[in-house]
Structure 1
Amino acid sequence: MGGMPADRAAEPPPPTPLDFQLVLLRRMADHQGELVEDARRELGVSAARMREANRRWQAMAHAAGGRGAGRRYRRFLGPPESSTARRIGDLDCTALRWPVPLWPDLCFEVLLAPGGAEWNAWLVRAPGASAPVLRSAADLRPWSCTVDEVARAFPPARPLEGTAPTRWGLAFTAPAGPPQDDGGGQPRFWVAEFTWGLLQRLREDG
């Protein structure tokens, strides 16, 4: 009799860009559970599928042993929308970028060393998209801006080690609000926390 072998019939479907967006959301849920739930419903997927997408991503990451990062992203996201040679200081790298439909003003960027090792992977502002105007801490709302945007808006921001590979932190000074607000224009110390390069939360430091 014909038909597909049982072992092949049981194989899960290949991962998709939707699954990768669920991977991003799964990590962000630690800080912004309500936003993640709203986004998951907008995507029309279950919490179980989000957990499964993250499980498959983690399994691939551990199986690769830190190698072949570019292939891992391509497997979930398909061919990159752009591949650009870039020089950072004295180092040459390749910047791969993919669109992220959940955040149409952003794209996902991976920086690869000449040998293919991953240097960085995070969400950045998409080419041609308008960056937010950041003048005070009041402008720093969850999911509104990226690491590099906050660093440029409030120099000299100091990088902080994250609590996981996909997390970053920045310490900087900024007014709490517009100068016309009562006391809002006085500089204060802040720590911004990011997941996959996107702002998750802001807290006053000291």
Structure 2
Amino acid sequence: MASEPVAASSSREQALAIALLSGSIALYLSLGEWPAAFYDAARWAVFALSCFVCAWAWSKKRWGWIAFASFGAFFFNPFIPRLGNEGWDVIGLAYMCGYAALGISLVHPRMAGVAGGAFAAYGMALLALTHYVNHYMPHGPMYWTGDYVCLHDGRGPCGPEMLEDMTKLDIPEWAKFLRSKAFLTFLFFGISSSLLLQKFNSNR
């Protein structure tokens, strides 16, 4: 009988871990430009997730996560929105990484294998779509950002930084999102799936 509360606590923690990993994917998607209804729903989801994290962190006396989740509840508050739909990039990126890291640390090694496979499959599907978008959909004009970039850790060769202007490009918003976030897609899903699968393999 004494083990039941521990099991229940562990079960709740695993549910939170899965919610955190799912929430990090939702935050990744929020870095695009979508209809207002998407951001309204996302605010509710991230606000609820932040409240759950805050309650978990309070029960564990994890003060850093209490502060992080409290700020999350403040920023993503659906009742008095603090972020405009165009202002999610920096905050959304921070909470995407933070909640993914917490989810990876909490998930059980056996579940980490399933989650890692799902992250890897999702990331590869997005990168395959990105390849299609880059090679089979129209491109906008390139413009100079005013900066220069150098290869090999700044040792050269160097050249002007050019970006694609997609403001008037007649392709779907999801295609613009994938094209502009290709490196982030590779980085986020690559690192997340690697860490999850490493955790799974360490328990074998």
Q: TM-score, normalised by structure 2?
A: 0.29
Instruction: Say which structure, 1 or 2, has more relative contact order (CA 8 Å, 6+ apart).
Output: 2
Q: TM-score, normalised by structure 1?
A: 0.28
More strand by share: 1
